[in-house]
C-alpha cells in the first residue's frame, strides 16, 4: 500500500497510520430553524448608528481582545 504521507497541521511531524498517533474529529453544528421574532420597536431602531457605535467602541481593541468578544 503506497499512500501519501500525513503530516500534523500544528507541528509538521509525519504521522504513520496504525500507530495511534492521531485522531479524526468531526464536528456538526446546527442552527435553530425558527426565525427570530422581530418587533415594531426593532424595525424603528437606527441599525446603522448602532453599528457605528459598536465599531467605534472596538477601534482600540487588540486582536486578542476582539477575539475574546466572539
State in Å, rounded, how far the first CA of the chain is from the last one: 45
Task: Tell me the domain boundaries of the chain.
Answer: 6-28+38-68
Q: What is the pLDDT of residue 1?
A: 52
Q: What is the pLDDT of residue 66?
A: 86
Q: What is the pLDDT of residue 55?
A: 92
Helix (H, G, I), strand (E, B) or coil at 41: helix
**pLDDT tens series, the chain, 70 aa:** 557 888 888 899 998 888 887 788 899 999 999 999 999 999 999 999 999 999 999 999 998 988 888 7
Amino acid at each position: 500500500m503506497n499512500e501519501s504521507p500525513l503530516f500534523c497541521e500544528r507541528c509538521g511531524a509525519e504521522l504513520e497510520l496504525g500507530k495511534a498517533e492521531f485522531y479524526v474529529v468531526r464536528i456538526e453544528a446546527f442552527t435553530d430553524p425558527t426565525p427570530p421574532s422581530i418587533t415594531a420597536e426593532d424595525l424603528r431602531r437606527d441599525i446603522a448608528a448602532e453599528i457605528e457605535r459598536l465599531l467605534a467602541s472596538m477601534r482600540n481593541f487588540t486582536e486578542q481582545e476582539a477575539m475574546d468578544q466572539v
